[in-house]
């Protein structure tokens, strides 16, 4: 394992209900990206055996197959989950799987749908994310980033104009 355990094992107690919590995916993602692939895969396999809604099972299976390097199984499960996943933030996570496997046309189309679903992906697209490397040089990526930035800037301006930053005591990047 690289680094420590990223606090994941301490932050999510064993009794955490992974059927109803976002932890069914997020803790395994953190472990995987921190280099603890074996623990991430173990948790994902355990969750696949649980009584999950089909769309959740597809999302978990998609990531488990990705972590195991099983290309076709991961893409199939990703596409099944995307076909029925209503939440744009979850769709963003799944679309990262497409980009990871170099399915750039499909990933750009899905990221566009995520943006249209009112989840602004500007900061996510511009941060360091190794899963998006092949996508960054793909035709259409810069236009997607520009569209997301325009929407981000408009939302930020509206938030500041409504004094949301002062109300919450935050600085908006």
Show the tokens assigned to 10: 């301490």
In the predicted structure, residue 9 carries a pLDDT above the cut 60 = no
CA distances from 141 to 86, 105, 115, 130, 147 (A): 23, 10, 13, 15, 10
Q: What is the pLDDT of residue 173?
A: 78
**What is the share, in percent, of the chain residues with pLDDT greater than 90?**
70
Predicted confidence (pLDDT) per residue in 82-125, tens digit? 999 888 998 999 999 999 999 999 999 999 999 999 999 999 99
| pLDDT confidence band for 6 (50 / 70 / 90) | very low
In the predicted structure, residue 5 carries a pLDDT above the cut 80 = no
In the predicted structure, residue 12 carries a pLDDT above the cut 60 = no
- The residue behind tokens 């009794």 is 15
Burial of residue 88, with CB atoms counted within 10 A of its CB: 0-12 exposed, 13-18 middle, 19 or more buried: middle
Distance CA 66, CA 164 (A): 39
Q: How far apart are the first and last CA of the chain?
A: 33
């Amino acid at each position: 394992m690289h680094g420590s355990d990223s606090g994941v094992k301490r932050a999510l107690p064993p009794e955490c209900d992974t059927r109803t919590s976002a932890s069914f995916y997020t803790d395994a993602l953190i472990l995987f990206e921190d280099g603890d692939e074996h623990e991430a895969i173990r948790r994902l396999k355990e969750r696949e055996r649980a009584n999950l809604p089909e769309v959740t099972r597809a999302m978990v299976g998609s990531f488990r197959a990705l972590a195991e390097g099983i290309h076709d199984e991961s893409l199939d499960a990703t596409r099944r989950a995307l076909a029925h996943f209503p939440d744009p933030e979850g769709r963003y996570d799944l679309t990262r799987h497409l980009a990871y496997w170099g399915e750039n046309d499909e990933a750009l189309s899905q990221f566009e749908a995520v943006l249209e679903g009112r989840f602004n992906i500007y900061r996510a697209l511009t941060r360091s994310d190794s899963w998006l490397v092949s996508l960054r040089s793909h035709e259409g990526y810069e236009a997607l980033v520009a569209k997301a930035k325009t929407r981000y800037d408009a939302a930020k301006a509206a938030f500041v104009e409504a004094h949301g930053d002062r109300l919450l005591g935050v600085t908006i990047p």
